[in-house]
Amino acid sequence: MIRLHHCPGSRSMRVLWALEELGLDYDLVSYRLDDGSTRRPELMALSPAGRVPALEIDGQAIFESGAIIEYLCERFPEAGLGVAPGTAERARFLEWVHFAETQANILQSLNIQHIFLRPASARSPAMMQLETRRLVKTMQAQEAALAGRDWLLHQGFSGADLMMAFNVTACFRFVRPDGFANLAAYAARIAERPAYARALERSGEDVLYTRDFYELPEA
């Protein structure tokens, strides 16, 4: 039995997409980010901060999307989504798996500032500008890594993409695509993957973003 604890539009999308790429059967338990449901005892028992994703698999529960993706890559090596330890490519794999959270934490801060904080006077335009500049730096790193290739690793599509690609659409809600041609093409390639389309369909509606782009306020 595999069971994913999930919120539409959240980091648990990485794991849902991975399960679809691996062709596994699984149950989905859904929560919302805006109604306190992530504090339900059943999730708190699996994920100590009441965060998604949590994955029940092989008689245990795992939290942290990066840990889950690494576990799935190792558990199902025949899918070729991971990289064997002790190689240079393994170092690149681990960098991207973890860099995904460097970037996602900036996105989370921008989500809080642009969407969740009420009233608008509670927001900090200076903080929003700083975080946007920090987001651009992470996007520039990814843009450079994608020069001349489709996916982040030489070997092709991998767990590194499962981690990083979830962030791409959100990045373009706060940063215009000018200067990010590789990243925009990467986003389009992701959308063409049948497993990604299946994961979106199974996920349920993402209610977080109501605008295509969030303009920065004046500082």
Ligand X SMILES: N[C@@H](CCC(=O)N[C@@H](CS)C(=O)NCC(=O)O)C(=O)O
Q: Catalog residues that contact ligand X under the rule CB under 6 A.
A: 7, 10-11, 33, 38, 50-53, 64-66, 101
Q: How far is the CB of 51 from ligand X (least distance, A)?
A: 3
For 186, phi then psi, to 5°, come to -60, -45
Cβ proximity to ligand X: between 33 and 127 the closer is 33
Cβ proximity to ligand X: between 12 and 142 the closer is 12
Q: How far is the CB of 12 from ligand X (least distance, A)?
A: 7
Q: How far is the CB of 4 from ligand X (least distance, A)?
A: 12
- Quick one: DSSP state of residue 4? E
User: Can you spell out the DSSP letters for 22-73?
Assistant: HT---EEEE--SSSSGGG-HHHHTTSTT--S-EEEETTEEEESHHHHHHHHH
Least Cα distance to 13 among 65, 76, 73 occurs for 65
Q: How far is the CB of 94 from ligand X (least distance, A)?
A: 15
DSSP bridge pairs for 57: 60
* Contact in structure between 199 and 181 (CB atoms under 8 Å): no
Cβ proximity to ligand X: between 7 and 46 the closer is 7
Cβ proximity to ligand X: between 115 and 184 the closer is 115
